[in-house]
């Protein structure tokens, strides 16, 4: 049984839908991320779960209990916000103790539980300090300790790392991930940063314009995006216009014209006509001189080379006028190519995802 069920929830702002028919089941102990561009409805869905907003349609269940008429303070939720929302006039200890005092927990238990929470976030030595004396990362840990000290059934985090510099963000994200696993708290995490989502999540829901586009594990979303939006939002990809012909139901294969080439492609269903071939830069390779290769390839000329050490990014103009990015390696001078050179770009059809012409769904 899912611990959290978001059952076809729609939240309106006037006539507009902030969240449109969201349906998600989240398991106990899962680290679940809502990911999408600004304005896609992540915060609205999180606030609806927390009880700060009331949805107009659908229901929210924690276990079997319907939360629809449960006020926010009775939902057993810990929250961490982007701006930390810690009280500047209270010490670290008092900030963390705040939720327990509000719940009338005994003095003795407050001392024990706050000490434990500060231990978990490694702030025990700072318990008497004011937040202003602490770094950004430490302030975020105060917010984290304050959220976990109440032993919530559900932890909600809204862009908790976006006020930190890049290096600290990386450090804090692995700390949050490790802590969540250690405490086994079901967590719903909001971010617009796709790399952060891939790094921390058990599963991700990708949202666009209030609607859930895809729910899956990080590698599923990356390797099998269900539509053009997801393929483009997660990582980067090349979209190449193609045409599919002669689908054979017996073999479930069709012919695809890509640039100058005809390639046989497996398809799950009958499709003929224009299509969109999506392949990631690291799934394309430049054919090395004097090597035989069985895999399909298209030819073009190199227009840009960006040497980044562990990889080299090439932009290549194909003969059909389209440009593709290839991320390849150059482990020696002889492997490095230059602008203007001819290039043969190889790929495995099975690595690619093929969408209908508008990119609405994979075929
Ligand atoms: P961001 O990453 O920028 O925080 P988000 O994905 O969290 O964006 P939301 O804040 O949930 O997006 O907003 C979803 C949509 O609902 C947006 O179009 C936004 O303008 C609208 N919206 C959000 N809050 C309100 C509100 N209180 N009143 C009216 N419209 C709102």
What order do you get walking across the sheet with 342-346 strand by strand? 285-286, 342-346, 297-307, 312-318, 323-328
Q: Tokens for 281?
A: 């830069």
260-298: per-residue pLDDT in tens? 788 899 888 899 999 999 999 999 999 887 676 677 888
* Dist. CA 54 → ligand 1 center (Å): 14
Beta carbons of 318 and 259 less than 8 angstroms apart: yes
Pocket perturbation via mutation, ligand 1, pick of 15, 17, 37, 40 by most ligand atoms within 8 A of CB: 40
- Percent of the chain scored above 70 by pLDDT? 98
Residues 198, 170: contact at Cβ < 8 Å?
no
Name the least confident of 113-117, 257-261, 332-336: 257-261
Q: Which helix (H) or strand (E) holds 228?
A: helix 228-233
How large is the average pLDDT for residues 122-143? 89
SS3 per residue for 51-119: CCCCCCEEEEEECCEECCCCCHHHCCEEEECCCCCCCCCCCHHHHHHHHHHHCCCCHHHHHHHHHHHHH
pLDDT at 301 over 90: yes
Q: Look at residue 138 in the predicted model and tell me its pLDDT.
A: 87
pLDDT at 82 (0 to 100): 81
pLDDT band of residue 1 (cuts 50, 70, 90) is: low
- The predicted model gives 155-164 an average pLDDT of 88
Q: Tell me what percent of the residues of the chain surpass a pLDDT of 90.
A: 67
Q: Is the pLDDT confidence value at 29 over 70?
A: yes
pLDDT band at 135 (very low <50, low <70, confident <90, very high): confident
| pLDDT in the model for residue 192 | 92
Looking at the CA of residue 210, tell me the nearest atom of ligand 1: 14
Mutation to probe ligand 1, out of 22, 43, 233 (largest number of atoms < 8 A from CB): 43
Cβ–Cβ under 8 Å, residues 159 and 200: no
Distances 84 to 50, 75, 87, 308 between C-alpha atoms, Å: 16, 20, 9, 36
Q: Is 2's pLDDT higher than 70?
A: no
Residue of 9, 35, 44, 207 to mutate, ligand 1, most atoms within 8 A of C-beta: 44
Strand partners, 5: 25, 61
Three-state DSSP at 194 gives helix
pLDDT value at residue 191: 95
DSSP 117-167: HHHHTT-GGGTTS-GGGS-HHHHHHHHHHHHHTT--SEEEEESTTTTS-HH
- Would you state the structure tokens that stand for residue 31, as one six-digit string? 């680290």
Best residue among 17, 18, 42, 47 to mutate for probing ligand 1's pocket (most ligand atoms within 8 Å of CB) is: 18
Domains of the chain (ranges plus CATH)? 4-232 (3.40.50.300), 238-356 (2.40.50.100)
Closest residue CA from atom 5 of ligand 1: 39
Indicate which residue's Cα is closest to atom 15 of ligand 1: 18
- What is the β-pairing status of strands 323-328 and 261-266? unpaired
Q: Containing H/E element for 50?
A: helix 42-50
Ligand 1 mean position, distance from CA 57 (Å): 17
Q: Whose CA is nearest to atom 7 of ligand 1?
A: 43
Q: Over the chain, what is the mean pLDDT?
A: 91
Arithmetic mean of pLDDT, 34-47? 95
State the average pLDDT over residues 33-59: 95
Q: What is the mean pLDDT of residues 14-21?
A: 96
**Angle made by CA atoms 76, 40, 210, in degrees to the nearest 5:** 80
Ligand 1: lining residues by beta carbon, under 6 Å: 13, 18, 36, 38-44, 192
Residue 331: per-residue pLDDT:
80
Distance 68 CA to ligand 1 centre (A): 21
231 sits in which H/E element:
helix 228-233
Q: What is the mean pLDDT of residues 113-131?
A: 91
Nearest to 322 by CA among 352, 356, 278: 278
In this structure, what DSSP letter does residue 348 have?
A: -
- Reported as a single tens digit per residue, the pLDDT across 305-319 is 999 998 999 999 998
Q: Phi/psi at 197 (nearest 5 deg)?
A: -60, -45
Q: What is the average per-residue pLDDT within 163-189?
A: 88
The model's pTM is 0.90
Per DSSP, 302 falls in state: E
Ligand 1 centroid from CA 44, angstroms: 6
pLDDT tens sequence across 183-228: 899 999 999 999 999 999 999 999 999 999 999 999 999 999 999 9
């Amino acid at each position: 049984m899912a611990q959290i069920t978001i059952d076809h929830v729609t939240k309106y702002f006037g006539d507009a839908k902030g969240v449109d028919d969201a349906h998600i089941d989240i398991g106990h102990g899962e680290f679940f991320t809502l990911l999408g561009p600004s304005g896609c409805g992540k915060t609205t869905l999180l606030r609806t779960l927390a009880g700060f907003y009331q949805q107009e349609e659908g229901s929210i269940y924690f276990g079997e209990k319907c939360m629809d008429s449960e006020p926010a303070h009775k939902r057993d939720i810990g929250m961490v916000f982007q701006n930390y929302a810690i009280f500047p006039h209270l010490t670290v200890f008092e900030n963390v103790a705040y939720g327990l005092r509000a719940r009338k927990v005994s003095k003795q238990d407050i001392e024990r539980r706050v000490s434990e929470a500060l231990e978990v976030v490694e702030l025990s030595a700072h318990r008497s300090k004011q937040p202003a004396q602490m770094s950004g990362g430490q302030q975020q840990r105060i917010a984290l300790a304050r959220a976990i000290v109440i032993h919530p059934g559900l932890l909600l985090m809204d862009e908790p790392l976006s006020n930190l510099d890049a290096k600290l963000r990386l450090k804090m994200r692995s700390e949050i991930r490790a802590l969540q696993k250690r405490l086994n708290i079901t967590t719903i995490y909001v971010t617009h940063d796709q790399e952060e989502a891939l790094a921390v999540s058990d599963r991700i829901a990708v949202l666009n314009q209030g609607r859930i586009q895809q729910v899956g594990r990080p590698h599923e979303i990356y390797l099998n995006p269900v539509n053009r939006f997801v393929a483009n939002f997660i990582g980067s990809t090349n979209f190449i216009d193609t045409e599919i012909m002669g689908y054979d139901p017996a073999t479930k294969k069709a012919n695809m014209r890509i640039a100058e080439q005809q390639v046989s492609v497996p398809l799950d269903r009958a499709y003929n006509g224009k299509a969109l071939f999506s392949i990631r830069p690291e799934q394309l390779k430049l054919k090395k001189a004097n090597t035989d290769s069985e895999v399909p390839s298209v030819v073009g000329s190199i227009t840009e080379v960006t040497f980044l050490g562990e990889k080299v990014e090439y932009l290549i103009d194909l003969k059909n006028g389209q440009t593709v990015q290839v991320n390849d390696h150059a482990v020696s001078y002889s492997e490095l190519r230059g602008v203007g050179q001819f290039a043969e770009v190889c790929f495995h059809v099975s690595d690619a995802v093929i969408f209908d012409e508008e990119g609405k769904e994979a075929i």
